[in-house]
Each structure stands twice: as structure tokens, then as C-alpha cells.
Structure 1
Amino acid sequence: MLLLKVSVLLFSVNLASTQFSHDQSVKMINFVAASFTPFMGHDYTPAMACFEKSYPKGNWFVLYTFNLQPCKIKDQCVLWIVSSDKYKMIVFAFKGVIGKSDINQTAHESIESYIPWIIGNVSYGQVNADISKASNGALNIIAPLVAGHPHYNFAFTGHSYGGAIASLTALNVKLTLKPAGNVSLFTFGNLFLVY
């Protein structure tokens, strides 16, 4: 339900330019796959293969990889931020749950942990408190990148729990930062449709 509400809000912000692209979603799933690759030692070779599969010869550059907090799941909630000057694009790929224990934990979370989500003076409904905190933490890194790249497009993508964080963050960017470039959102396997 959270994803549905956030998706409706995101797309209602600017319906004139909203459209689904199957080709773009196929490309974005490779960025989600890259978010599951290990990034210890700054060896991004496996991730780069995923980026290049979607956008060949993009000269992708990893700007940031870090763990989002709070993260209740056993595995890490990871955000990859990559850019391509050739494609004038920055992609924010959020990793979600991967194991059965992670899925069980997130699926059984209490909906009582939802808090009001307010931007400016406007309430946009209720969101999971941990997802809101993780999104706000990501936004602290993302905001200067958006401001510093006025002619770029920004793509948010994620899987499962990461998809929920990506949804909230993309909407927040669209509403508060109002970037000149396009903001797109592609999520896969979002668990929060069950609420």
C-alpha cells in the first residue's frame, strides 16, 4: 500500500511528463542487480558490468556506496549512486532484502510504526518510520548532487525494502528540490504492497 500511495503521489506531481517505459525499466533492473554486488576494496568491476549492460560505453562513475541507517534487516540496506556524463544521468540504486529471514522480518513489521510524512505544510499520509529515516539520510547525500547537476536526469530504483526507500526519496526530491531534469522511479518486488 505504501508503494501504491507513494507512486500515485509521485506521478500526480507532474502528470504531463509521466509515462511508463518498459525499455527503461529493463535497463534499471541492471542497476538494482549492481546494488547487490559487494563493494569492499572499491573494486566495482561486477557492478560496472551491470551498468554497461544497460548503457554501453557510459563511462559510469561510482560517486557513493554506503549503508543506509536505520536498517532493520539482517543484510545491509545499501545505496549506490552512479553517474554518467555521457548520458547526463545520475542513478540512485537502493538494495532491498535478499534472504528469507529478511523477508519474514519486513513482512511482519507492525503498521503501527507508521508516522505522518509531511513536506513543507502538506501531509502526504503515513510512512514507515525506518523507511522515512533511511530516505532522509539518503536525501542528505542526494540533495547536493541534484543541485550540482542541473541538466541531468535522475533515476531512482530499488528492490523490495530498497524500492520503498527509493519511492519515498524520489518523491521527496521531486517535491522539495524541484530539479530541472526528469525524475524517474522504477521499483521491483516491493513488499509493502501487502499493507
Structure 2
Amino acid sequence: MQEILSTLVSSVFVENMVFAYYLGMCSYLAVSKNVKTALGLGLAVTFFLVFTVPINFLLDNYVLKEGALSWLGEGFANVDLSFISLIIFITVIASFGQLVEMIIEQFMPSLQAALGIFLPLLCINCAILGGVLFMQQKAFANVGVATVYGLGSGIGWLLAIVGLAAIREKLGYSDVPKPLKGLGITFIITGLMGMAFMCFSGLKI
């Protein structure tokens, strides 16, 4: 239980995908103009990570790693398929991309129109692939911890984009200097938010 709680808090605050690793910045900056759209994209990213991280964890540990296929018999004990792990990870992510796009198109057409090209681009969102690769690097004990890591990473990205969107909506009523309007002030705010999240790095988890 302690490992699960530690993984969740760390992935949300300490190892935030946006502020610690700068992953998913293209869609983070482009879709953070209003809270509703940002929330939709953040939920989609969280959905991706919650499902793709544990699926890829199982594939990595029971199919791809050296000796992972030993459950098929002694003849497969030395098989190493790790050289195709990146291709498999991307395939799983792309498959979920199609699934999410079909669901949103069917049930939330207004959100699909708001997200535009960034919805299919979720398939190659570096935050999602980064979450999967970090999962592989961290070598979690079981699929439950890997799932919690995916959930925490998604929530962290969701908090980051919704927080920025809320601030950018308020900026519409602010007297921002003309040279800083648009991406200029957005970069400054993102930097300040990143500095704020650095405070969590002192947490003893």
C-alpha cells in the first residue's frame, strides 16, 4: 500500500510529465486556451496512460524481455524480443488512439471539434510514450503499481493543463503587454508553475 501511495504522489507532483520532463508540451501549450477543452484533453491523456502503461507492462514482462517467454516452455527460455519493444509500445498506444477518437466522435462531437488535429496526435504524444518508457525503466514490482503510475502521470498532466487553462482564461481580463501576448506570457506562466511544482521535490515519500 505504501508503494502504491508513494508511486501515485510522486508521479502526480514530483515527477510531473510537464514540469519535470517537459513532455507533451505541444498539445499542452496549444489546447490550454480554455478550461473545458483542456479538461477534455487531460482526461483523454489520463485514459491513455491508465490503459497503455499496464498493457505494455504485461507485454514487456511476459513477452518481450529476455526469458519472458519461459512460461511457454524451456525452448523459449532464451528468447529475447526486447529489440521490438518500442514498436510494440507504439502499436498499443496507436490502437488506443483510434479507440478514444471513435468514442469521442460518437459521444462528444463538440469536444472532438474543439480538439481538432490534437486528438489523433495523442497517438504520438510524447507524454504517453514517455510514461510507458519510464515504466519500463523503473521496473515496477507488479502490474498494479504500473497502473497507479499511469494514473498518477495522467492526473499530473491533467492538473498542469487545466491549471494553465484557468490562468489563461483570467489573462483575458488582464492588461498584458503587447509583446508578451499569446505564447510569450504562456511560457512565463509555465515556467512559474514549474518552479512551484519544484517545491514538491522535497517531499519525503
Which bin holds the TM-score, normalised by the shorter protein?
Answer: under 0.3
Q: Looking at CA atoms only, which structure, 1 or 2, has the larger radius of gyration?
A: 2
TM-score (norm 2): 0.24
Structure with the larger helix share? 2
Higher relative contact order (CA 8 A, sep 6+): 2
TM-score (norm 1): 0.25
Structure with the larger strand share? 1
